[in-house]
A and B are shown apart, each in its own frame.
Chain A
């Protein structure tokens, strides 16, 4: 077990985007604990709290982004070479930004998921509904993480979900992005399987979706205030 005080220091280094300090901190922890323990007991909890802090309004997006980048790189280096561990066993997962040319939401969510040991294919941003369907068929996606920024792109998810059904593709769609955060009924309206409000939440929701194939009728959307 890594000491709790250490966790607080690391959390603060991340909030200040002190990359060198954060790297040094982790290097020192590695003297007393194996890489996986450091990831699970220091990096992941700090990142989770930062993601949730955004939801609560105590942490800014810029801090979330910088922390996610620093942690993603740390985890990658900790798990490379001799420490290499197999990524989590999951059905094929992909992530995409539908229609919009704004990929920061997707970037942050995938950095969080990577830090938690998930692997996924990135279809990119600015894709049309048809392009997403093609990509899903090619990849054999079973869980699709879908980010949007503008309302019309969020509404286009309905069309996408309908077309998945018509094509008998059983894809579970998890949505996220400003339109869903600012309208907590929208995810259900567009027929998504689930939604998540922030990157920490995305990790938890993904875990639950992997565990249970049923639609998440009462999850996050009802939780707490808007961010």
Chain B
């Protein structure tokens, strides 16, 4: 089976030859190419080559076009702060005065070099894949991105205290998000991962979610012209699981903070699960620990398909070693072969 066939079968809640492994490797490409993270992200060719090498090395079942969340504020002229050993951070929020939301207009994807660079990455990986390896694109949800546009504190206050300006901000962000997602699909992305950690009950209550982030997701996902995955970036999802299931996504990215077996039982036959290895523990796993954890994870969610093994955040930390990643890949090959007879014993 090709990676594409493997992933599609799992998404159809059938058993492929092996549990698909979706390693969300980003900054590791810079290590492969022996360059700084900043330099690596500065050119599409670097990222294409980095992804090519990583996919081969770890028999990864996807190419991943994600670089850093802050690209969505860089698109509006915001600063990105790079460092040598971790992901870039967004700098000073681009919206300083809440009233400025009234005049905010969505940027156009075609006019923004940093987004065009990512589309070049998508096109390049699509060509490389020749239909055999899924290319995963990423958008940050219109509901979550204001943390970077506006600052977290002021954004929470906006949600509670300025409903009209909040709605206006959502309109702008939704227009952008839909255009950005569809541009990635047009460039060859197989599916779009909609990162929406603010919608996690870890971040806002279920009641408020239903009046805000849920409606945003409903409007946006229905306008994205391709398969979608919703990812709460390691925030909890159980209390809003029914809402997420109603969104009609192909898969949900789930957290290590929740019981994977329980999630699987609730989602079986409805939506596939993506997760839930703990990236923050992964960086100091021994190969034996990696194998044991992969095995236990597959035992909980692997049977009957509908499961894709990944980390629980959507980005594996830079500090995770080659040895650990190899141990994970080997463990999937050893324990992830369907029909997973060993889990039935």
Instruction: State the interface size on chain B (CB cutoff 8 A).
Output: 34
**What residues of chain B lie closer than 8 Å to A153, measured between beta carbons?**
86
Q: Tell me, in angstroms, the Cα distance from A194 to B68 when the chains sit together.
A: 31
Whole-angstrom distance between the Cβ of B239 and the nearest chain A Cβ:
8
A residues within 8 A CB of B156?
62, 65-66
B91 sits at the interface (CB 8 A): yes
Annotate B250-285 by CB proximity to A: 1 below 8 A, 0 otherwise.
000000110000000000000000000011110110
Q: Does B306 contact A (CB under 8 A)?
A: no
Cβ contact within 8 Å between A60 and B280: no
Alpha-carbon distance A95/B181, docked complex (angstroms): 40
Q: Complex: how many Å from CA A104 to CA B152? A: 7
The residue from B89, B234, B239, B318 contacting A182, defined by CB atoms under 8 A apart: B234
> B278 — nearest CB in chain A belongs to which residue?
A182
- What residues of A have a CB within 8 angstroms of the CB of B281 in the complex? 182-183, 185
CA distance A63 to B201 in the complex (A): 11
> Is A84 an interface residue, CB under 8 A from the partner?
no
Min CB–CB distance A50 → chain B (angstroms): 12
* Contact between chains at B234 and A60 (CB < 8 Å): no
1/0 per residue, CB under 8 A from B, across A92-132: the answer is: 00000001111110010000000000000000001000000
Partner of A183, one of B87, B204, B278: B278
On whether the beta carbons of A17 and B160 are closer than 8 Å, the reply is: yes
Residue with the greatest number of chain B CB neighbours at <10 A, chosen from A54, A99, A100, A151 = A151
Query: Does B159 have its Cβ within 8 Å of any Cβ on chain A?
Result: yes
What is the interface of chain B mostly: helix, strand, loop, or mixed? loop
Which residue from chain A places its CB closest to the CB of B159 in the assembled complex? A62
| In the complex, chain A residues whose CB is within 8 Å of the CB of B236 | 57
B203 touches A152 (CB 8 A): no
Are A179 and B159 neighbours in the complex by a CB distance under 8 Å? no
A215: B residues at CB distance < 8 A: none
Among the interface residues B86, B90, B256, B278, which one has the most CB atoms of the partner chain A within 10 A? B86
Judging by beta carbons under 8 Å apart, are A151 and B319 in contact?
yes
The answer to whether A183 touches B280 (Cβ under 8 A) is yes
Q: Does A139 sit within 8 A of B, measured CB to CB?
A: no
Bound-complex Cα distance A62 to B143 (A): 13
- Are A102 and B152 within 8 A (Cβ)? yes
Closest B residue to A105 by CB, please name it.
B152
B85 at the interface (CB under 8 A from A): yes
B153 partner, pick from A59, A65, A155, beta carbons under 8 A? A65
Query: What is the bound-complex CA distance between A226 and B280, given in angstroms?
Result: 13
Task: Compute the total of residue contacts between A and B using a CB distance below 8 Å.
Answer: 84
A148 to B113, CA, bound (A): 31
Contacts of B186 in A (CB 8 A): none
Q: Is B83 on the interface with A (CB-CB < 8 A)?
A: yes
Q: Across the interface, do B86 and A150 meet the contact criterion of CB distance under 8 Å?
A: yes
Whether the Cβ atoms of A152 and B90 lie closer than 8 Å is no
Q: Are B280 and A101 in contact, with the CB atoms below 8 A?
A: no
Find chain B residues with CB under 8 A from A126 CB: 81
Residue interface bits A139-178, CB-to-B below 8 A is 1, else 0: 0000000000011110100000000000000000000001
Are A152 and B319 touching (Cβ within 8 A)? yes
Chain A residues closer than 8 Å to B85, beta-carbon distance: 152
Q: Is A14 an interface residue (CB 8 A)?
A: no
Question: CB < 8 Å: which of A17, A63, A179 contacts B280?
Answer: A179
Q: Let me know if B96 is at the binding interface, CB within 8 A.
A: no
Q: Could you say which residues of chain B place their CB within 8 Å of the CB of A104?
A: 152-153
Q: Please give, as numbers and ranges, the residues of chain B lying within 8 Å of A183 by CB-CB distance.
A: 278, 280-281
Which of B153, B159, B278 has most A Cβ within 10 Å? B153
In the complex, 27 of the A-B residue pairs with CB atoms within 8 angstroms, ordered by the A residue number, are A54-B202, A59-B205, A60-B202, A60-B203, A60-B205, A61-B202, A61-B203, A62-B160, A62-B203, A101-B89, A102-B89, A150-B86, A150-B89, A151-B86, A151-B279, A152-B83, A152-B317, A182-B234, A182-B256, A182-B257, A182-B278, A182-B281, A183-B278, A185-B281, A186-B280, A226-B256, A226-B257
Q: Which 8 A-B pairs have the closest CB atoms?
A: A152-B86, A182-B280, A104-B152, A183-B280, A60-B205, A62-B204, A152-B85, A151-B317
- Using a CB–CB distance below 8 Å, which chain A residues touch chain B? 15, 17, 54, 57, 59-63, 65-66, 99-104, 107, 126, 150-153, 155, 178-179, 182-183, 185-186, 189, 225-227
